[in-house]
Amino acid sequence: MATNKKVFTLRLSDEVFDKIGILATSEHRSLTNYIEYVLIQHLEKVEKEHGIIITDQTKD
């Protein structure tokens, strides 16, 4: 089944990239999956504190 996900590039220093890799490994996740997980967790925290962020997809 195809997914409809956007892809973007992160410009990170080698040190930051390596640190994220260490955290991802400790969580038994791939680097990409760990970054997605951290961003989703942050969005959930912000929305819990400030309310839902309205996008074109949440207007319906």
Residue 27, domain member (yes or no): yes
The residue segments making up the domain with residue 35 are 14-49
Residue 59, domain member (yes or no): no
Beta-carbon contacts of 10 under 8 Å, excluding residues fewer than 6 positions away, are: 35
Residue 36, domain member (yes or no): yes
pLDDT of residue 9: 93
Residue 1, domain member (yes or no): no
Residue 24, domain member (yes or no): yes
pLDDT of residue 43: 97
Q: What is the pLDDT of residues 2-49, one digit of tens each?
A: 778 888 899 999 999 999 999 999 999 999 999 999 999 999 999 999
Is the pLDDT reported for residue 1 higher than 80? Answer: no
Q: Are 58 and 52 in contact (CB under 8 A)?
A: yes
The total of structural domains in the chain comes to: 1
pLDDT of residue 36: 94
Residue 25, domain member (yes or no): yes
Is the pLDDT reported for residue 51 higher than 70? Answer: yes
pTM: 0.79
